[in-house]
């Protein structure tokens, strides 16, 4: 079973126990984390975020693995300089941002 993690509807409180409850209820099922984005895109905040994007991903991965998840994947690896999927204006950080006009790559700390 795969799941996404977006906690905005829950006051930003991670739901690690919910994953644990699902694993305990269905111990024969593998839980696969398939989507997470840590922060809305704002390049000016890239090097000033505390905790960092990398720390947020690490916390997420550690807690989900400790609660029964067997595989983890982020939402994206590379986004363009606008940082979104265009169809919904969902502008997010990714590990790498590529400027389609200049060819420049920006690596985030995630």
pLDDT over 60 at 30, yes or no: yes
Higher pLDDT, 16 or 21: 21
Q: Are 44 and 96 in contact (CB under 8 A)?
A: no
The length of the chain in residues reads 110
pLDDT for position 23: 95
For 2-17, write each residue's pLDDT tens digit.
888 766 555 667 788 8
Higher pLDDT, 21 or 41: 21
For 37-72, write each residue's pLDDT tens digit.
766 777 777 766 556 778 888 888 899 999 999 998
DSSP letter string over 1-53? -EEE---GGGTT---HHHHHHHHHH-TTSPEEEEE---SB--GGGTTT-SS-H
pLDDT for position 6: 64
pLDDT over 60 at 87, yes or no: yes
Q: Is the pTM of this model over 0.95?
A: no
Phi, psi of 37 (to 5 degrees): -130, 130
Q: Are 45 and 53 in contact (CB under 8 A)?
A: no
- Give the separation between CA 31 and CA 80, rounded to whole angstroms: 30
pLDDT over 80 at 29, yes or no: yes
Query: Among 56, 32, 40, which Cα is nearest to 88's?
Result: 40
């Amino acid at each position: 079973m795969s799941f996404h993690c977006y906690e905005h509807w829950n006051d930003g409180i991670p739901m690690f126990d919910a994953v644990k409850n699902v694993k305990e209820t269905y111990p024969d099922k593998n839980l696969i984390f398939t989507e997470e984005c840590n922060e809305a895109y704002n390049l000016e905040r890239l090097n000033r975020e505390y905790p960092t994007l990398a720390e947020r991903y690490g916390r997420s991965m550690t807690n989900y693995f400790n609660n029964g998840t067997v595989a983890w994947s982020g939402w994206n690896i590379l986004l363009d300089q606008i940082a979104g999927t265009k169809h919904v204006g969902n502008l997010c950080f990714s590990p790498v941002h590529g400027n389609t006009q200049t060819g420049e790559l920006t690596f985030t700390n995630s």
